[in-house]
Chain A
Amino acid sequence: MKKSKKKFTVGQIILNALFVLVCLTYIVPFILLLSISFSSEGAIKEYGYTLIPKAFSIEAYKQIFNNPQMLINAYITTIIYSIGGTLIFLFITSLTAYPLSRRNYKLRNFTTWYLFITTLFGGGLVPTYLINTNLLHLDNTIWIYILPGMVSAWTVIIIRTFYQGIPESLVDAAKLDGASEFRIYFQIMLPLSVPVLASFGFMTLVGKWNDWNTSLIYITDTRLFSLQFLLQKVLREAEILNKMAEQGLSTYDIPTETMRYAMAIAVAGPMLFIFPFFQKYFSKGIMIGSIKG
């Protein structure tokens, strides 16, 4: 018999009201951001931050979008490496996590330690740069965005924990059917971990989308700049020019406040539209199907 889901119980109303209140604390600043990005610099100086722009202007956007060709390249580059990089990341990371979840895997402890140590110690910028550049020649290629970040020990360990939560009975059943570990991974584990992978996938995607540090250090070819880097570049340049003006070395005075906000909007926009797409993977019921089937 189909149960009708009651959307309007008292409990639900309270719950929704609570969330609405909480979300206000996020929306109001966001509206502020939007408003400032569409204000003129002069208005900001005069009136400070206001929820509705006192003097509407798209000057900030004009400034950051002043080189359309470079921007298009940046969007394309970023889309390619974000999506490609995330897919590769999800695949390799979950692949690495699976063996760790099998209790009778001989190298289980060793591997966990092996991964875990990397979350505690790191060599720092200099050796990483040396390896990526002199040894692997990844600089000025799109692979610099994808390969070094291919595996994250933290993610592996958490996904392993998820896999451990999947009943052993499933695996045993498959083994009785004569399945190899490869088949178990691809046909059972992977499909079951869709919600988990979707959530990490989104977080990784966002991380790659927002990344500007990689471009800063490794890229000089203007076609390979990441989106965030391109936008940050304009801002950092403006800041430096202002600082130099103070030192008496330059006469430029570039307005920077509204620009920052326009940048944030330009970068955040696409991601917010993509998120709902990921959300549809967060659905219950995948588990049940496989056990019953």
Chain B
Amino acid sequence: MKKIKKLLTLGLAWIIAITLMLSGCGGRSKETASSANEEIKLKWVMSGSGEQSDSQTVWEKFNEKLKTYEGMKNVSVEFKIIPFSDYTQKFLLMQTSREHFDIAQTYQLNEIKEIRNETFMELGDLIDKNAPEIKKDLPSFLMKFGQVNGKQYLIPNYQMLPSLWNLWLPKKMVDKYSDISKIRETVKNPKSNTELYDVMETYFKAAKAGGELGMGFNPNCAGLLFTERLFDGAYGQYSSRFVVKIGDETHKIVEVHKTDEIRQLYAKMADWYQKDYIRKDVLSANLNDGKAREGGYLAYMNQANYGVEVINENGMDMYVVYANPSPFVPSVNVAGGNGISVNCEHPDKAIKLLELMNTEKGKDLYNLLVYGIEGTHFEKAGDDKIKLINNAGESSGSSYGLAKWIVGNTKYAYLLKSQPDDYKDMVFNKLNQGETTKYSEFIGFSADLSKYEAKLSQIDAVAKEFHNPLSYGALGDWEKRYEEMVQKINACQADEICAELQKQVDDFIKSK
């Protein structure tokens, strides 16, 4: 009895306290709507390196300049730069505590989730009425990245979309034990995956016989070469993905780890591991230590600019082979985009600001925000090129610098001295909208699998547990483990999810 009384008193006190607290939790004070000639302040949240030493100076200049643009006379912007490493968590806390913002950049956020949670407002009409240049300047396929169910919520940041993964091979080794043109030819036009494995295997075998195996093949990201380019991701980006085979007209959805191609990858890697073509400590080692060095890898995946064929790295000449027959724009834009909060009270001004960041007419303003003040943080070094001075840069110790692909349309960003002159041509003309560029069927598609969220997380967990060791070939008795993996995935209702996803995909394809 006494205990119950104690619990009751405790509970009562608690209820009183919560009521008090709720009234206190009214959140931060919202700004009231302002009249036409009043100062309008927009708050823009984005990730970067936090506030830098010259940030305030640059932003002051930015706001000064902003006023000179049409319709922006009484607008100023307050920037909140959250360090990359903290963005996801801090954004969540911002929302929970009702901290106000007008514009937010979505890199590292789950965009689809945010849109479904009604974080951002619909932009369609806003763009048409207030910022029509956006639609003219950004390609229509790009705009799709910011859409859910056909409605526009984000202005995607335009930057390089196809991956730049290349196969890197030491020139000396290839010339000795293989034939680079044959490799290039096979990678570009493989009759089947087997052919691709074979040409690599011949190379390794010869090198082993010659006693120069070194660290062999680096299986990290090997999937990019052998399997990734065969699939179009309909849901999920990496581990538990549901994909369609590129070229499959029926758009049949299958869980990626159950495909024949993945199975073959596991078999081949296990085989290569046995034959010593893959280093024994592959599971735990830091795999970057074998790149471009004597006695290092015979072949590994790495990034390189498109169209490059030979690179000199660390004093070694490396052949570079683009890992895809032709550039492919995937269904997800990693850089995310900018969206306007549903609580924004001046969305017309906000969308105008975004227009300036993404179109030609705001080019100078955009570069000011990205690089800083001309003369103080950079100097012109050519037609479209600049040189950074006075410790300008993107890290927290620099004087000033934001990531251009966070702020807006990188097509209008000045090139840095270190970038090749034809960089923009490569990115925008050859890759993003090249002659041979292929596009994912699922751009603009967002599956609604919220019913299966728990199951999908479980599949993710299974995939992470098995996929890595299997794809490194380091799991002895791989077949048994593979069966185990498939079993576990099936236990998470993978088939049901496939069926549901198939339905949604079919609807989407039809509506296109």
Contact = CB atoms under 8 A, between A and B. Distances in A.
B9 to A, nearest CB: 9
A234 B396 contact: yes
A181 to B, nearest CB: 22
B319 interface: no
Interface string B101-131: 0000000000000000000000000000000
Contacts of B394: 241, 250, 252
Given A217-B93, A237-B395, A237-B396, A134 B51 contact: no
A247 B406 CA distance: 14
Interface string B49-84: 111000000000000000000000000000000011
A239 interface: yes
A54 to B, nearest CB: 15
Contacts of B289: 45
Given A135-B24, A233-B396, A239-B85, A110 B97 contact: no
Contacts of A129: 93, 96-97
B25 A236 contact: no
Contact of B97 (A66, A134, A222, A244): A134
A126 B96 contact: yes
A249 B85 contact: no
B6 interface: yes
A133 B396 CA distance: 26
A217 B24 contact: no
A130 B25 contact: yes
Interface string A273-285: 0000000000000
17 contacts: A67-B397, A126-B92, A129-B93, A129-B96, A130-B25, A131-B21, A134-B24, A134-B28, A135-B25, A216-B86, A233-B396, A234-B396, A237-B49, A240-B84, A248-B163, A249-B405, A251-B418
A186 interface: no
Interface string A11-38: 0000000000000000000000000000
A126 B98 CA distance: 12
Interface string A243-257: 011111111101000
A248 B403 contact: no
Interface of A: 45, 66-67, 110, 113-114, 125-126, 129-131, 133-135, 216-217, 222, 233-234, 236-237, 239-241, 244-252, 254
Contacts of B85: 233, 236-237, 239-240
A236 B84 CA distance: 9
A248 B397 CA distance: 22
Given A130-B25, A135-B21, A233-B396, A249 B97 contact: no
Given A45-B289, A234-B396, A249-B405, 18 more contacts: A66-B397, A67-B397, A113-B6, A126-B96, A129-B93, A130-B97, A131-B21, A216-B86, A216-B89, A236-B83, A240-B83, A241-B84, A247-B334, A248-B163, A248-B164, A249-B334, A249-B335, A250-B403
A133 B97 contact: yes
Contacts of A254: 395
B410 to A, nearest CB: 10
